[in-house]
């Protein structure tokens, strides 16, 4: 069974302030990163992550000679990142326990670079709007539309249980959430 190293956000932040700069890698999507990330983190989305990509972004010496700290929203994707990189013979890896959510909850510095509402808020707005639309259609057009409300409820329960929201993934692909190549992330 593989062992993983975890560090709490408060300790990582303390190390960032006190010691030589540490390498904090945020593996969330660029849209999530822009919504708010631990100050000092660098964005390397999980779907682009490899040892080579890290070496291109951080430098081969940094990747080889430093401990790399991985953060996501809750810790799940950071664990996936560490597992992936361990398969590529990197072992100086630490997961920030609780992720950006814990970082934020502990009152540690967050940097936000987006003017858009967060993906979470966009999802809530979309679901609320769709529910009201289905309710109105059910009242005015046909009771069948009430079934769509139940379908959306099932989708919300599934998203809560699996931590994967199809609507959020769809909204992340919308043009207003895309990062242009010449926009700094």
Residue 85 dihedral angles phi and psi, to the nearest 5°: -75, -30
- Distance separating alpha carbons of residues 157 and 165, to the nearest angstrom: 10
Q: Answer yes or no: is pLDDT of 73 > 70.
A: yes
Whether the Cβ atoms of residue 104 and residue 36 lie closer than 8 Å to each other? yes
Residue 47 dihedral angles phi and psi, to the nearest 5°: -70, -5
As a residue count, the chain comes to 185
What would be the CATH architecture of the domain defined by 5-111?
Answer: 3-Layer(aba) Sandwich (3.40)
Handedness of CA 132, 32, 51, 65 (dihedral sign): negative
- Distance separating alpha carbons of residues 184 and 114, to the nearest angstrom: 11
The dihedral region occupied by 25, where left means phi > 0, alpha psi between -120 and 50, and beta the remainder, is beta
Instruction: Give the pLDDT mean for 57-76.
Output: 91
Domain ranges of the chain: 5-111, 119-177
Portion of the chain with pLDDT greater than 70, in percent: 95
Give the per-residue pLDDT at 181.
55
pTM of the shown model: 0.69
- Distance separating alpha carbons of residues 170 and 162, to the nearest angstrom: 16
pLDDT digits (tens, 9 = 90+) for 84-137: 999 999 989 999 999 999 999 999 999 987 677 777 778 888 889 999 999 999
Give the per-residue pLDDT at 180.
61
Give the per-residue pLDDT at 185.
46
pLDDT digits (tens, 9 = 90+) for 126-178: 889 999 999 999 999 999 999 989 888 888 888 888 877 888 888 888 888 77
């Amino acid at each position: 069974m593989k062992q993983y190293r975890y560090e709490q956000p408060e300790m990582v932040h303390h190390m960032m302030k006190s010691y030589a700069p540490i390498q904090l890698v945020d593996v969330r999507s660029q849209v999530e990163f822009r919504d708010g990330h631990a100050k000092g983190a660098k964005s390397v989305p999980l779907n682009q992550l490899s040892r080579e990509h890290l070496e291109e972004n951080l430098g081969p010496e940094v990747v080889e000679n430093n401990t790399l700290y991985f953060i996501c929203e809750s810790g799940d994707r950071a664990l996936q990142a560490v597992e992936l990189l361990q398969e590529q013979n990197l072992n100086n890896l630490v997961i920030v326990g609780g992720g950006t959510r814990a970082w934020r909850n502990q009152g540690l510095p967050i940097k936000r670079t987006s003017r858009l509402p967060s993906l979470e808020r966009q999802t809530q707005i979309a679901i609320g709007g769709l529910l009201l639309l289905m309710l109105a259609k059910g009242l005015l057009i046909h009771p069948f539309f009430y079934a769509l409300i139940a379908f959306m409820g099932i989708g919300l329960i599934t998203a809560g249980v699996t931590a994967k929201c199809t609507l959020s993934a769809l909204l992340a692909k919308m043009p207003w959430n895309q990062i242009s190549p010449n926009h700094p992330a």
